[in-house]
Copies of this chain bind each other. A is one copy, B any other.
């Protein structure tokens, strides 16, 4: 049915070995024969069977990515970058959604392991020991999470938070409140770290609340607590929570940014579209995904044991939810 290397060999009047060589290491055959093979292959529409190749080379030409939730734009942003870069490198991408469940997460990596050369893991939740175990089965690259001995593409949340604080302090705010996301999340820890450092250096007061679920409802819930602190600016763990905060403030008739300033984190699509448009921190999602692929491929090709981490800058996006505090 499908056209195999044998058909090409027959057509080009050479052995299968020569065909294989002409295609994968062209400098091993005479230009004339290479030409002959290439035209034969093109004419027959030959596409090498990757499974067969993988069987002998040990390389599959596939990679996997596991994310907690495909409905979360954060992860799909990353996925988009991964997918694009992988295609450039002639790799195909398996995707798996763990539904935020840690148990399935490791199981997914394990299931993929046989079919991929490596897996990119975007899981804030899953714990270290499980990850190390997974790392034993196949090569891993972490996304937005630091793990000793495993390469990672990181987005500098701490720096983003510093930019937020700089911005708010410059506007004249002196008392800030932060709404924590999940305790176990690496991102939340990083954001907090940047926050503490920055507020300390500026000598302004920081109040922390939470943790809250990193969702719209979490924002609704947190909002009233935040207002009770008499802070002039509310910094949410992420955009979705910020959206909840904005909704609750509107319901209570509190003006944004007139009465209180609000910031998010992630710069998801709707941050620009909501009203008022949200001041937030843009994450280089696609870039991170793309770089994660590079890290994976580097790790496969160079057998040096060095573990690389790349650190990407985040960028404060000032929109309309921040202004000087009320006089």
Contacts and interface: CB of A to CB of B under 8 A. Distances in A.
B96 A111 contact: no
B273 A275 contact: no
A96 B114 CA distance: 21
Nearest to A54: B51
Given A60-B51, A73-B73, A275-B250, A84 B97 contact: yes
A167 B118 CA distance: 52
B80 A70 contact: yes
Contact of A70 (B83, B87, B113, B243): B83
Contact of A80 (B49, B84, B97, B269): B97
Interface in A124-153: none
Given A73-B71, A92-B94, A96-B83, A115 B275 contact: no
A210 interface: no
Nearest to A96: B83
Contacts of A95: 79, 83, 93-95
A79 B70 contact: yes
Contacts of A112: 92
A62 B93 CA distance: 11
A94 B94 contact: yes
A32 interface: no
A91 to B, nearest CB: 10
Contacts of A250: 275
19 contacts: A2-B114, A47-B110, A47-B114, A50-B115, A51-B115, A70-B76, A70-B80, A70-B83, A76-B76, A79-B95, A83-B97, A84-B97, A84-B99, A92-B94, A92-B96, A93-B96, A94-B94, A94-B95, A270-B273
